[in-house]
Structure 1
Amino acid sequence: MAGVENIGPMIRRLRQERGWSQSDLARKLNDAAGGSPTLDRQHVYRWETGRRTPRDWLPFLAAVFRVDVETLERATAAGRTAATPPVPTVADFLPEGDPFAPLATREGRRIGASTVADLNGRVHGLRLADDVVYGRDLIGRALRELRAAVTLYRESTFTDETGRQLLQGIGELAQIAGWIASDAGQHEDAERIYRLGLSAAHQAGDATLAGNLLGSLAYQTANMGDPLEAVAMAQAAADGAGEAPPRARALYLDRVAWAHTQAGQAQPAMRALGEAGEAITEHTDGTEEPGYLYWVSPDELKVMEARVYTELHRPLRAVPRLRDVLGQYDATHARELALYLSWLAVALADANEPEEAAATADRMIRMSADVASDRTDGRAAVVLKRLEDFRDVPEVASLLEEFPAA
């Protein structure tokens, strides 16, 4: 079907010609269908990037665009014969519009380097707090800090360089605030925060920070949404990071591996893990790395490897790595320690060691009892469900009796 426009590019072109956002088109389609909203901007995004086909929505697309449905059908057929969908880039995941564009006519006090330094200090303080205070206990402070930073940008005047540094600070703050929101179970808020930060990093010209934000969003999407979309996000983050430092590239590739794992794609996951391991061992050229990479280390990569092996049901590889890391982990970081124990418990169950799995699960659940984290709550439920297969083992039966709610 040479010469026929594919359906994805056609939808994008028709939408943009009318000045509509992806959300606008989704809303108009819902109205045309005459029912409760079933589409959102992510559906439109998937159509435009060739990851989904509209199929049943073609008549409604024809109605809102005022084109013949036959034209859309031919474009759909052309899309089915296309070789591959376009490869997403970081720009594909930016929020609609420009969250900072209305701020061009600022009026207010003039700020400079000291204000930027103060913002950076608060961002780092929030990162350190997240090591020992968790989701639901920290989300209020995180959101206050983010609102204050955006208000500062909106209501102040500054040089171009100070503005760029402020945007970087907002991007870094959005990354940790999004992480905290996800840990508090506020996943939709976390996505909005990540996209706000992605816009700030993009405008600041900081590709490494943009990759970190998009990778964080990919990680949440892999766990809570569409793993295939998470693969596209994580790969776009890795591809778009430019000359990122080694630890940043290792982190991006880690997230690629996790997204592939959640999508059930074992070989690409293993390949990404290998590339991450190679990246972390590369020598830097003396360029200073961003402070937010402080936690990325070979031991953290071992944890991700072990988690991937656990999800792929390869306990003989997972268990030794987890035991090695847990044997030297900082016990004050209760959330991370509990999460790592949860993967060890599942891996031990897969290895047909239910007694040890039960003991590990018991330790994990008791440790996380006072941790205000949606992540640990979810992992406790996963562990106990896995142990249901061994209910006839006394140690497991005792554990399940003590924690029936999960």
Structure 2
Amino acid sequence: MIPSNAHHAGIDRRDFLLEGAGTALSVPLTALPDKSHGKIGAADVRAVDTAVSAIYGHDHDHGSAALRHDAAAALRTAYQWLQVGSYSDRTGKQLRSAIGYLSIAAGWLSYDSGQVADARSLYGEALAAARISDDHGLEGHAFGCLSLVARANGQPREAITAAQAAQHSVRTYGSARMLSLFAMREAGGWALLGDSGMADRAVVLAHSLYAKGPADADPDWLEFYTPAELAGLEALARADLAQHSRAAAGAEQAVLLHGGQFTRNRALYQADVAIQYSIKEQPELESAVAAAGQLLTYFPDVRSERLVAQLSKAASALARHASVPLVADWLAECRTVIREG
């Protein structure tokens, strides 16, 4: 068990990081009242769950920047309930699990905002909560997120190990879709390592598991893992394997299949289309600029450091062809969007 003073120090650190720049569009979550010396019941656990849903609901369409302050406040209050509130053993176990999921949601905001180290810390706290509350679904979710962070940090073996641990945690959970996601996370690790054979095996497994269809055991947070996301995650693996044509086609499929949903993810894959068409051995500049032009339409409504980073990558990739007029025009427009943003 983490000492209470260490926990408070961690919360203060998270507050600082989560309450950073970009709270101008703050979207209030369902308020978690100060009940630090009161009775905590099932309704309070549901309130934490509702806060998690509110975070994901807004983040899918607008990115993370507007939510850091609210997530920090909700997490701080929930930890206060856990530490000094009054509750039964059953409620305490449920509350700890709910806080674990809230830690993952806050960690996701950190990850999307470029605070990868903080995201890793929050995912680690969620993993500890899962172990204490014996919540295998939460444990798998936390390991899957740690795999994502390891890949972002350029640590392919850690990404693979965490993804395999996630699959082991939920092997009897009853959600083929969740297993599929973690298999795709493993594929991303193998791709970053440069092992195309193992990456292909994991991709095939992910598609096979996904084809089993939805199940009652599928958790609510898995709603983002649509056929579009399946295609997009494979595209990212193809990109790491330098299979640029397949990566571009997969990212295009992801954008198309997303339709009007999950705006931030759609924008990220739009950037991938532009990048992959730009860096192919035989660049397809018209397709790259068309995708890059669509990418600019997401600003400033979507506020995500990852998306800004992807825009920068697209600009760098296209800048190699700045002598081409349509590329030069897009680069000028991009500079305007960045300046006004």
Which TM-score band applies after superposition, normalised by the shorter structure? 0.7 to 0.9
- Residue type of the alignment partner of 1:263: L
In the alignment, is the contact (CA less than 8 A) between 1:99 and 1:196 conserved in 2? no
Match of 1:324 in 2: 253
- Residue type of the alignment partner of 1:388: A
Cα deviation for residue 376 of structure 1 reads 0.4
TM-score relative to the length of structure 2: 0.81
Could you tell me how far apart the structure 1 residues matched to 2:129 and 2:70 are? Answer: 20
In the alignment, is the contact (CA less than 8 A) between 2:100 and 2:130 conserved in 1? yes
Match of 1:204 in 2: 133
Match of 1:227 in 2: 156
Which of 80, 98, 108 is the aligned partner of 1:179? 108
Which of 211, 222, 227 is the aligned partner of 1:281? 211
Higher relative contact order (CA 8 A, sep 6+): 2
- Residue type of the alignment partner of 1:271: R
Higher radius of gyration, 1 or 2: 1
Match of 1:268 in 2: 198
Q: Secondary structure at the match of 1:387?
A: helix
- Residue type of the alignment partner of 2:256: G
Could you tell me how far apart the structure 2 residues matched to 1:188 and 1:111 are? Answer: 32
Could you tell me how far apart the structure 2 residues matched to 1:315 and 1:380 are? Answer: 18
- Residue type of the alignment partner of 2:269: Y
Could you tell me how far apart the structure 2 residues matched to 1:220 and 1:259 are? Answer: 11
Alignment of 1:270-349 (within 5 A): 270-282=200-212, 287-331=216-260, 333-349=262-278
Cα deviation for residue 339 of structure 1 reads 0.3
Cα deviation for residue 370 of structure 1 reads 4.1
Could you tell me how far apart the structure 1 residues matched to 2:182 and 2:250 are? Answer: 21
1:248 lines up with 2:178 in the alignment: yes
1:387 lines up with 2:318 in the alignment: yes
Q: Secondary structure at the match of 2:62?
A: coil
- Residue type of the alignment partner of 2:88: T
Alignment of 1:346-361 (within 5 A): 346-349=275-278, 350=280, 352-361=283-292
Cα deviation for residue 380 of structure 1 reads 1.1
In the alignment, is the contact (CA less than 8 A) between 1:234 and 1:255 conserved in 2? yes
Q: Give deviations 1:167-214, integer Å, cap 9, x for gaps.
A: 110111111110011112222221111111111111111122111112
C-alpha RMSD of the superposition: 2.5
Q: Secondary structure at the match of 1:114?
A: helix
1:116 lines up with 2:45 in the alignment: yes
Which of 257, 276, 294 is the aligned partner of 1:363? 294
Could you tell me how far apart the structure 2 residues matched to 1:209 and 1:136 are? Answer: 25
Could you tell me how far apart the structure 1 residues matched to 2:209 and 2:286 are? Answer: 38
Could you tell me how far apart the structure 1 residues matched to 2:166 and 2:307 are? Answer: 27
Could you tell me the percent identity over the aligned residues? 28
Q: Give deviations 1:102-121, integer Å, cap 9, x for gaps.
A: 99xxx942222222122212
Match of 2:95 in 1: 166
Q: 1:344 to 1:150 in 2, by over 3 A?
A: same
In the alignment, is the contact (CA less than 8 A) between 2:140 and 2:166 conserved in 1? yes
- Residue type of the alignment partner of 1:219: L
In structure 1, list runs of 5 or more residues that go unmatched. 1-96
In the alignment, is the contact (CA less than 8 A) between 1:223 and 1:262 conserved in 2? no
1:377 lines up with 2:308 in the alignment: yes
- Residue type of the alignment partner of 2:149: Q
- Residue type of the alignment partner of 1:156: G
Q: Give deviations 1:121-175, integer Å, cap 9, x for gaps.
A: 2221222121223222111111111111111111112222211111110111111
Which of 51, 74, 80 is the aligned partner of 1:145? 74
Q: 1:237 to 1:265 in 2, by over 3 A?
A: same
Moved over 4 A (4+): 99-103
Could you tell me how far apart the structure 2 residues matched to 1:387 and 1:133 are? Answer: 26
- Residue type of the alignment partner of 1:184: S
The total of aligned residue pairs comes to 306
- Residue type of the alignment partner of 1:147: R
Which of 192, 209, 214 is the aligned partner of 2:121? 192
In structure 2, list runs of 5 or more residues that go unmatched. 8-35
Cα deviation for residue 302 of structure 1 reads 1.2
Q: Secondary structure at the match of 2:224?
A: coil
- Residue type of the alignment partner of 1:236: A
Could you tell me how far apart the structure 1 residues matched to 2:69 and 2:190 are? Answer: 33
- Residue type of the alignment partner of 2:93: R
In the alignment, is the contact (CA less than 8 A) between 2:40 and 2:81 conserved in 1? no
Cα deviation for residue 315 of structure 1 reads 3.5
In the alignment, is the contact (CA less than 8 A) between 1:228 and 1:263 conserved in 2? yes
- Residue type of the alignment partner of 2:198: P
Cα deviation for residue 332 of structure 1 reads 5.9
Q: 1:142 to 1:220 in 2, by over 3 A?
A: same
Could you tell me how far apart the structure 1 residues matched to 2:297 and 2:252 are? Answer: 19
